[in-house]
A and B are shown apart, each in its own frame.
Chain A
Amino acid sequence: MDEQTIPKLLKASAEKYGKRVALREKDLGIWQNITWEQYYQKTKYFGLGLLSMGLKPEDKVSILSENNPEWLYADLGSQSIRGVVVGIYPTNVATQVEYILDHSQSRFVVVGDQEQADKVLEVKDRLSNLQKIIVIDMKGLRRYRNPLIMSFEEALALGEEMDREDPKRFDSLVEQTDPEDTALMVYTSGTTGKPKGAMISHRNAIASARNFLSCTPLRVDDVIVSYLPLCHIAERSFSVLYPLMTGGITVNFAESLNTVQDNIREIAPTVFFAVPRIWEKMHSGHVMRMRDATRLKRWIDGWCGKKEKEIYDMECRGKASGLHTKALRTLTSVLHGYPLKKHFGLNRLRYVYTGGAPTPPETVIFFHSIGIKIRNLYGSTECTGICSVHQGDDIRVGTVGPLSPGVELRIGEDGELLFKTDGVFKGYYRNPEATAEAVVDGWYLSGDVGSLTEDGHLVITDRKKDIIITSGGKNISPQEIENEFKASPYIKDAVVIGDNRKYLTALILIEYDNVGKWAEDQRIAYTTFKDLSQKPEVHELVSKITEEVNRKFARVETIKRFTVLDKELDQDDDELTATQKVRRSIIERKYADVIQKMYKAG
């Protein structure tokens, strides 16, 4: 479609697809359909509701909720009357919520439920701009007598009334939206410092979506499940932008956070995007389940897994022809590949993506060999998503694919990647200094170091500031080493340390569930995470994994010592970003004495 703003796209889609299903939500145990008409109507009512409460162009509306259709109504409704939408991670704690509401000067905040409402109420006295808290699920809140609180239905009712008085009003407002308007602001989680609000215009959003879609022909009958945080640009693109641009992809919302995996199985999406953590979990879940399986199943899994990998290797070298190979491929897929795909709910997939952080190669190879061709997607909020992606059948492990159409690349002297596209954002809200550092002459400085292969695939080495230079002067990418650790089902996270030091060390965080299970099998009694993580046997286990990892690297890149952390890393303690990335600097500061010990002689 050629419309130039997001609300115009919605209007056009509603006119074109009317009674077709746009969204689906599982409620009270049943999948409920929402048509494009209804989608548009609810959006209209919400937008007008805000208007009747005095929202003006460029005013900010924050959304703090799990994914649900109301999220989209609030998002598009606000944009339709030229408001700016700020998504906040539902996992953020009250102080982080306060920072974003305050910095963005939000006048309205849409919250999912009581838990989220309580966070805002806790800090409301310090938010002078805040006018209303609009609650989607009022359970437990009906007797809060706070004038700030109103229900989502009340807001819709206000809008409905306005619409009855003046039925043309909304359509003309949608016409007034301008491609250069800021449509949304995404607060980047930032592994350093306070979050920054990246302003993204309609033009940015649509250009980026167009780039992606031109190399990924999504179809009207495609189905996706919306389950990652919508405030992140990737999920926003898959759940809002791409369906609007292609008109007709059905977006499904899980019943609750705990049922996502079941719901994915029920829906069997055809387009799927997941972050590495989810792939790792699926993979290690499979590995752990096989340990409890019967001997026959274990044998089948082992044998098929091995054969599938061999065939995959041959495919990569272009030698997977011949009758024997084909027969073998059919056999393993009947016995192993297909049942597994079905189990994950990924048996109907057409396009499947990973992104947000590097995925451990071992995990990617596992999925590739059972026939789930995970494509790498690389991008950033500041480019409104995608910069490069695996296109067509050219899917390779270890690269993030060729540049997306409409994206230009320059590699700086220090190896830093610079991008130029129509998706490059308008700047950080109320932070011109940071904007000036991030965008120079229209080029976005990504902060990532990487290179291009001879045939045009992009390879990312690491974050520029994370590169370790040992006191011996050797440049090392910690990410590569950490990823090898994370491929083990027993390890959740690893932080490699060694900048300006003689050798490398690592802080290791164990995967509680899996190590717990392992301990039970070994008849090791334990009580809590702290207790388990400090068992000598667990130390021994990690030490074996470390040896295996070390074998894959040159001598200077090996881990000489490690410490198993006795506590889970937590977003609440600022150790992780909202996207569950490790905040290296905070961890290095927090565990300074532990690190110091690893560098003491003896």
Chain B
Amino acid sequence: MQTSSTTKGESVGSPERAAAGPQLTVERLSLSFGGIRALQGVDFEVFPGEIFSIIGPNGAGKTSIFNCISRLYTPQEGRILFEGTDLLSLPPHRIVSLGIARTFQNIELFRNMTVLDNILLGRHLFLKSGVFSAGVFLGKAQNEEISNRLKAEDIIDFLEIEASRKKVVGELPYGLQKRVELGRALAMEPRLLLLDEPTAGMNLEETEDIVRFVLDVNEEFGTTIVLIEHDLRVIMDISRKIICIDFGAKIADGTPKEIQTHPKVIEAYLGEEFQGKESDRGAE
């Protein structure tokens, strides 16, 4: 139950970490479906430990970028480098083992499974024992089960969802389901976390909660976070850097302050009302 508002500045990725060179590099990314050009030469760099946001109107191509990184889509042109590895040369299931995890805009959990089982599923890639030893639950398999359960319990503790541990996900309120999805992503122990609209459809309290958890993840584990978000107040509060996408092309990048005053952003996305003011959850 966290209700305190986010502390500005204190938790944003620190500059000394940024000096280490980019963790994720996206170069000239272009993607089209037949005649529709979803992405047109998008470039950006994300540095270790920072919170990086992608904004833009609906259908601008934000989620397509995520889908390219997690290899659900294959772009026609461009390169994506994660810590020096070219992601496009890898099959989708290898992405997770590199240390990249994501959540989805519409919750993608197993609705009929418990919270604990959903989170344990995120540990799948750490399970090494074979069918036989797992089947008879001997030595290694048992140790593995215990250590993974411990990790899952750590996450449950971290996200304060003890009370719903054994509950079936489908029964939980929406805000809590989002938290569970974040938990499953954390179970993969990612170094880069892609969050697709974590606060969509949430009330103010749920939004404050989830933002607090995103900041905690960033602080506690040093996880780099790339965020797609419509709630501009959240974006401006917590991001170190923002890019704005419109019609598949990058139209601006910079710090929250620069983005707020960028004429193209104001024109394309924020509308005239936003100028200089703190926004409500407009844009949707």
CB <8 Å contact, A142 and B220: yes
CB <8 Å contact, A140 and B153: no
Binds B, one of A232-240, A253-261, A452-460: A253-261
Which one of B2, B150, B156, B165 contacts A115 once the chains associate, using CB atoms below 8 Å? B2
CB <8 Å contact, B163 and A140: no
Task: Tell me which residues across on chain B come within 8 A of A143, comparing CB atoms.
Answer: 10-11, 219
Of A30, A140, A259, most buried by chain B (CB within 10 Å of CB) is A140
Task: Tell me which residues across on chain B come within 8 A of A30, comparing CB atoms.
Answer: 153
CB <8 Å contact, B163 and A262: yes
Which one of B4, B11, B158, B162 contacts A139 once the chains associate, using CB atoms below 8 Å? B158
Q: Is A180 an interface residue (CB 8 A)?
A: no
Which residue of chain A lies nearest to B3 when distances are taken between CB atoms in the complex? Answer: A115
Given known A-B contacts A140-B215, A256-B162, A256-B163, A118 and B220 have beta carbons under 8 A apart: no
Q: Is B184 an interface residue (CB 8 A)?
A: no
Which residue of chain A lies nearest to B219 when distances are taken between CB atoms in the complex? Answer: A143
Q: Is B102 an interface residue (CB 8 A)?
A: no
Which one of A28, A140, A142, A144 contacts B150 once the chains associate, using CB atoms below 8 Å? A28
A256 to B156, CA, bound (A): 11
Of B149, B215, B219, most buried by chain A (CB within 10 Å of CB) is B219
Given known A-B contacts A28-B153, A28-B154, A115 and B219 have beta carbons under 8 A apart: no
For window 134-159 of chain A, which residues contact chain B by CB distance below 8 Å? 139-140, 142-144
Contact with A along B198-240 (1 / 0, CB 8 A): 0000000000000010011001100000000000000000000
Q: Is A191 an interface residue (CB 8 A)?
A: no
Q: Is A543 an interface residue (CB 8 A)?
A: no
Q: Is B157 an interface residue (CB 8 A)?
A: yes
Task: Tell me which residues across on chain A come within 8 A of B215, comparing CB atoms.
Answer: 140
CB <8 Å contact, B10 and A144: yes
Given known A-B contacts A114-B2, A114-B4, A255 and B220 have beta carbons under 8 A apart: no
Which one of A114, A142, A144, A258 contacts B162 once the chains associate, using CB atoms below 8 Å? A258
Q: Is B136 an interface residue (CB 8 A)?
A: no
Task: Tell me which residues across on chain B come within 8 A of A29, comparing CB atoms.
Answer: 149, 153, 156, 162, 165
CB <8 Å contact, B216 and A139: yes
Which residue of chain A lies nearest to B5 when distances are taken between CB atoms in the complex? Answer: A118
Given known A-B contacts A28-B154, A257-B1, A142 and B219 have beta carbons under 8 A apart: yes
A256 to B2, CA, bound (A): 13
CB <8 Å contact, B219 and A258: no
A258 to B156, CA, bound (A): 13
Which residue of chain A lies nearest to B11 when distances are taken between CB atoms in the complex? Answer: A143
Q: Shortest beta-carbon distance, B282 to chain A, in Å?
A: 22
Task: Tell me which residues across on chain A come within 8 A of B4, comparing CB atoms.
Answer: 114-115, 118
CB <8 Å contact, A140 and B1: no
For window 1-35 of chain B, which residues contact chain A by CB distance below 8 Å? 1-4, 10-11
A28 to B154, CA, bound (A): 6
For window 113-130 of chain A, which residues contact chain B by CB distance below 8 Å? 114-115, 118
Task: Tell me which residues across on chain A come within 8 A of B1, comparing CB atoms.
Answer: 115, 257
Q: Is B278 an interface residue (CB 8 A)?
A: no
Q: Is B77 an interface residue (CB 8 A)?
A: no
Q: Is B83 an interface residue (CB 8 A)?
A: no
A256 to B163, CA, bound (A): 8
Task: Tell me which residues across on chain A come within 8 A of B153, comparing CB atoms.
Answer: 28-30
A255 to B161, CA, bound (A): 10
A143 to B222, CA, bound (A): 11
Which residue of chain B lies nearest to A29 when distances are taken between CB atoms in the complex? Answer: B153
Task: Tell me which residues across on chain A come within 8 A of B86, comparing CB atoms.
Answer: none
A139 to B158, CA, bound (A): 8
Interface of B is mostly: helix
Which one of B2, B162, B216 contacts A255 once the chains associate, using CB atoms below 8 Å? B162
Given known A-B contacts A139-B158, A140-B220, A259 and B163 have beta carbons under 8 A apart: yes
Q: Is B160 an interface residue (CB 8 A)?
A: yes
Which one of A27, A140, A257 contacts B219 once the chains associate, using CB atoms below 8 Å? A140
Q: Shortest beta-carbon distance, B231 to chain A, in Å?
A: 20
A143 to B219, CA, bound (A): 7
Task: Tell me which residues across on chain A come within 8 A of B157, comparing CB atoms.
Answer: 27-28
Which residue of chain B lies nearest to A255 when distances are taken between CB atoms in the complex? Answer: B162
CB <8 Å contact, A140 and B3: no
Which residue of chain B lies nearest to A26 when distances are taken between CB atoms in the complex? Answer: B162
Q: Shortest beta-carbon distance, A450 to chain B, in Å?
A: 38
Which residue of chain B lies nearest to A258 when distances are taken between CB atoms in the complex? Answer: B163
A21 to B147, CA, bound (A): 26
Q: Shortest beta-carbon distance, A441 to chain B, in Å?
A: 47
CB <8 Å contact, B220 and A139: yes
A576 to B220, CA, bound (A): 36
Task: Tell me which residues across on chain B come within 8 A of A139, comparing CB atoms.
Answer: 158, 216, 220
A29 to B220, CA, bound (A): 21
Q: Shortest beta-carbon distance, B60 to chain A, in Å?
A: 32
For window 214-262 of chain A, which residues contact chain B by CB distance below 8 Å? 255-259, 262
For window 136-181 of chain B, which residues contact chain A by CB distance below 8 Å? 149-150, 153-154, 156-158, 160, 162-163, 165
A139 to B150, CA, bound (A): 18
CB <8 Å contact, A140 and B212: yes
A169 to B215, CA, bound (A): 43
A30 to B165, CA, bound (A): 12
Which residue of chain A lies nearest to B157 when distances are taken between CB atoms in the complex? Answer: A28
Contact with A along B87-120 (1 / 0, CB 8 A): 0000000000000000000000000000000000
Task: Tell me which residues across on chain B come within 8 A of A262, comparing CB atoms.
Answer: 163
Contact with B along A550-563 (1 / 0, CB 8 A): 00000000000000
Which residue of chain A lies nearest to B153 when distances are taken between CB atoms in the complex? Answer: A28
For window 406-430 of chain A, which residues contact chain B by CB distance below 8 Å? none
Task: Tell me which residues across on chain B come within 8 A of A256, comparing CB atoms.
Answer: 160, 162-163
A257 to B216, CA, bound (A): 20
For window 483-517 of chain A, which residues contact chain B by CB distance below 8 Å? none
For window 94-133 of chain A, which residues contact chain B by CB distance below 8 Å? 114-115, 118
Q: Shortest beta-carbon distance, B166 to chain A, in Å?
A: 9
A262 to B163, CA, bound (A): 8
Which residue of chain A lies nearest to B2 when distances are taken between CB atoms in the complex? Answer: A115
Contact with B along A1-36 (1 / 0, CB 8 A): 000000000000000000000000001111000000
Task: Tell me which residues across on chain B come within 8 A of A255, comparing CB atoms.
Answer: 162
Q: Shortest beta-carbon distance, A5 to chain B, in Å?
A: 36
Which residue of chain A lies nearest to B4 when distances are taken between CB atoms in the complex? Answer: A118
Q: Shortest beta-carbon distance, B247 to chain A, in Å?
A: 38
A114 to B153, CA, bound (A): 20
Task: Tell me which residues across on chain A come within 8 A of B220, comparing CB atoms.
Answer: 139-140, 142
A30 to B156, CA, bound (A): 13
Interface residues in chain B, defined as those with a beta carbon under 8 Å from any beta carbon in chain A:
1-4, 10-11, 149-150, 153-154, 156-158, 160, 162-163, 165, 212, 215-216, 219-220
**17 extra A-B contacts, CB within 8 A, seeds A28-B153, A140-B215, A258-B162:** A27-B157, A28-B150, A29-B149, A29-B156, A30-B153, A114-B2, A139-B158, A139-B220, A140-B219, A140-B220, A142-B219, A142-B220, A143-B11, A255-B162, A256-B160, A259-B162, A262-B163
Task: Give 19 pairs: A residue, B residue, CB < 8 Å, sorted on A.
Answer: A27-B157, A28-B150, A28-B154, A28-B157, A29-B149, A29-B162, A29-B165, A114-B2, A115-B2, A115-B3, A140-B216, A140-B220, A143-B10, A144-B10, A255-B162, A256-B160, A256-B163, A257-B1, A258-B163
Interface residues in chain A, defined as those with a beta carbon under 8 Å from any beta carbon in chain B:
27-30, 114-115, 118, 139-140, 142-144, 255-259, 262
The 8 lowest CB-CB distance pairs between A and B, nearest first, are: A258-B163, A28-B153, A140-B216, A118-B4, A29-B153, A259-B163, A255-B162, A256-B162
